Amino acid sequence: MPSIRILSDRVANQIAAGEVVERPAAVIKELLENSIDAGARKIEIEFRNGGKSYLRVEDDGTGMSHDQALLCLERHATSKIRKASDLNEVQTFGFRGEAIPSISSVSRFTMRTRCDGNAEGNEILINGGKMIHVKECGMPKGTRIEVAHLFNSVPGRRKFLKTEVTESSHIIHLCKLYALAHPNLTFSLLEGGRTIFRSPACEDLLDRVREIFGKSLAEALTPIEVLGDKIKLSGLVGKPGFSRPTRKEMMFFVNRRPVDSKTVSYSLLEAYHTYAPKGRFPPAVLFIELDPSLIDVNVHPAKRELRFREEANVRTFLIKSILKFVKEFSGEKKIKESQIDLEKDLTSGQFVPKIDENVLKQLKVLPEGQSLVASSRNPEIVFSQDSVDKPLSSPKRPVDSLSDELDGNEQKQLVGLRNDLNASWHLIDNTHGSMALFRTSQGIVGFHCRAAYERIRYEQLEDSFEAKKKGESQKLLFAESLELNSFESGFLKKSLLKLKNVGFIIEEFGRNFYRLLECPTWIDPEHAKVFLLDLVEIGIDSGGETEIEKFAKEAISKQATESFGLKNSFSENDVVRIANQLLACRNPYTCPKGRPTYFELPVRDFENRFRRKI
């Protein structure tokens, strides 16, 4: 066995570079963090050939003196921490002092920097860890670092880099993340002299998203802000009905640090369980702020991941906050009263929906050449009170028609048939199976009847979980016995009252033994025992929480999407009734599985296609 020796600083730096500098984007990340910590107000990044041949990060921060510039090249030289306990309250980005010496050991590294008190700057050139020269140079206040020929001294690592396109995409995405994290800074990103994006300082996060990611993503997001006991959530979340095929637009920041967090990711997906289709992901730009002592950012060498000290509390807060916000947002009426033009009735003096004279002429209610004002004075022209004032009433349906479950409290008619003057949505046709088309003042609406029916039934079942609405039960022919361990038994015992409220009647039958006597009407009795056992297992895995409603969502969703005698075709009255009840739902935008229930094609889209006004 060879004798033991201490590695040289150059080799040690190159080994450390393997942990800190995985690819060109990691170099950009470390240099960007140093620029932000230096108090920069303007940062410019440039790269070529996916960052393999050239990288540059330039800022207008505080800069460094001659001695400080040389000292930053030493391993573990940092201005951010002084003692080990400082790691418990890290508030800066780069703090370990590994980045600069590691990068300079595997590239041709040039650093130019000048601080406020010096008339001239300093230039340091290092090639593969060897000092080439240190000299004075002229430059504005700040720091400019150029990294060329990355991994030139360790070609074994260079061959593991991906293609230029892949490496470039990583750099662009990383720079967008830091630009989002700090909208108060001016960011510029260039690739081979070509500007990828240039974003001035913005006060509004949504403006930054619009500049960097484009208008389509910005329109799919809505602001959120929730203040908890020890934690604050802010940023942007996707509107119900908008989703993406990948997780790339799920962006998370903890104390302004971009991170990959399974806790936050799981919380977001759980909150959007029925608001985004399975296999698709809601876009989000979420900022979490909490005491630095409650997180550990020193878990990963590249600081990509972090650990929450109170992970269960953070997860519960995020799920509840996001879910509550999305439900409240979905509760907004899709059709607002302001979209309906009103006029004062000469007879009653009340404001009533304005009648379009052109429509009346097309329907031959108003003779040609006569105005509506004149007709109101003409006693021979009388409008049918049934056609104007009476709300739409549905005729009796046959036995095979829609279930009477859709009949609830009478809602104001926002949707009507073709000739219904009170409606804001007018039915055009209901061809192609479950699809229907409506005309609105803003354009055309495509409507999926079955998806809408599933959403209505889902919310009816969901209401049974409220304490004030006890769920209906059905007795089992033979009681099912449940044998549990001590942990499962303790959880079930705490949950008996909540389970009773939703229709599960369970009695204790000895130590750790229970009997299931009744189950809710919305679940098959054959599946009731398995459902309960799964619910107990999920509750134990979630830290013993007794949130029965959350655990039962999947079962409700499955029950809601079953046909329940729903026929394949819908009459016009059925379509109108379903549409009216859908718009009264808390979330009219998606079915229980997160797929859209309807979409709107505005008039401007048709004008763009025709390239003229309609």
Domain boundary among the residues 148, 182, 199 is at 199
Q: Which of 218, 202, 219 is nearest to 210 (CA)?
A: 218
Q: pLDDT by residue (tens digit) across 598-613?
A: 988 888 888 888 888 8
Strands 284-290 and 250-254: parallel
Confidence tier at 81 by pLDDT (50, 70, 90): low
Residue 531's domain is classified under what CATH number? 3.30.1370.100
Residue 379 in any domain: the answer is yes
Asked if the model's pLDDT at residue 26 lies above 70, the reply is yes
Asked if the model's pLDDT at residue 148 lies above 90, the reply is yes
Distance (Å, whole) CA 458 – CA 558: 9
**Containing structural domain, residue 381:** 338-459+565-610
Q: Which residue has the higher pLDDT, 380 or 135?
A: 135
The reply to whether 135 and 212 lie within a common domain is no
- Phi first, then psi, for residue 64 (nearest 5°) are -135, 150
Q: Which of 540, 93, 54 is nearest to 304 (CA)?
A: 93
- Phi first, then psi, for residue 195 (nearest 5°) are -80, 120
Residue 283 in any domain: the answer is yes
Residue 216's domain is classified under what CATH number? 3.30.230.10
pLDDT score for 547: 63
Strand partners, 443: 602
pLDDT score for 562: 56
pLDDT score for 278: 74
The reply to whether 294 and 187 lie within a common domain is no
**What order of strands is seen across the sheet that includes strand 473-483?**
473-483, 513-520, 505-508
pLDDT score for 217: 86
Mean pLDDT of 446-464: 81
The reply to whether 21 and 92 lie within a common domain is yes
pTM for this model (two decimals): 0.63
Decide if 90 contacts 291 (C-beta within 8 A).
Answer: no
Q: Residue 267: helix, strand or coil by DSSP?
A: helix
The reply to whether 275 and 356 lie within a common domain is no
pLDDT score for 158: 76
In our burial notation (b when 16+ CB lie closer than 10 A, e otherwise), range 451-472 reads bbbbbbbbbbbbebbeeeeebe
Helix (H) or strand (E) holding 98: none
Give the distance, in angstroms, between the CA of residue 48 and the centroid of all CA atoms in the same chain: 32
Asked if the model's pLDDT at residue 408 lies above 80, the reply is no
Q: Which residue has the higher pLDDT, 387 or 307?
A: 307
pLDDT score for 177: 93
Structure tokens at 238: 């996707």
Residue 131 in any domain: the answer is yes
The reply to whether 402 and 521 lie within a common domain is no
Residue 264 in any domain: the answer is yes
The reply to whether 304 and 355 lie within a common domain is no
Q: pLDDT by residue (tens digit) across 168-188?
A: 989 999 999 999 999 999 999
Q: Which residue has the higher pLDDT, 306 or 463?
A: 306
Asked if the model's pLDDT at residue 4 lies above 90, the reply is no
Structure tokens at 264: 């936050």
Residues with Cβ within 8 Å of 184's Cβ and at least 6 positions away in sequence, in order, are 201, 202, 203
The reply to whether 230 and 289 lie within a common domain is yes
pLDDT score for 1: 63
Q: Which of 21-35, 265-279, 366-380, 431-445 has the lowest mean pLDDT?
A: 366-380
Asked if the model's pLDDT at residue 614 lies above 90, the reply is no
pLDDT score for 509: 84
DSSP-derived letter for residue 542 is T
Backbone CA torsion sign across 603, 337, 215, 330? negative
Q: pLDDT by residue (tens digit) across 113-124?
A: 999 888 899 999
Q: Which of 120-134, 453-467, 549-563, 565-579 has the lowest mean pLDDT?
A: 549-563
The pLDDT > 70 percentage for the chain reads: 73
Q: In the chain, how long is the greatest CA-to-CA distance?
A: 115
Distance (Å, whole) CA 579 – CA 577: 5
Long-range contacts, 369-373 (Cβ 8 Å, 24+): none
The reply to whether 423 and 519 lie within a common domain is no
Strands 415-416 and 425-429: parallel
Residue 188 in any domain: the answer is yes
Q: Which of 581, 563, 576 is nearest to 459 (CA)?
A: 581
pLDDT score for 401: 38
Distance (Å, whole) CA 397 – CA 406: 12
The reply to whether 501 and 546 lie within a common domain is yes
Distance separating the N- and C-terminal Cα atoms of the chain = 86
Q: How many domains does the chain have?
A: 4
Q: Hey, how many other C-beta atoms are within 10 angstroms of the C-beta on 110?
A: 18
Q: Which residue has the higher pLDDT, 100 or 397?
A: 100
Q: Helix axis angle, 205-213 relative to 164-181, nearest 10°?
A: 160
pLDDT score for 145: 94
Q: Hey, how many other C-beta atoms are within 10 angstroms of the C-beta on 268?
A: 24
The reply to whether 501 and 515 lie within a common domain is yes
Decide if 610 contacts 352 (C-beta within 8 A).
Answer: no
Q: Which of 132-141, 374-383, 569-578 has the lowest mean pLDDT?
A: 374-383
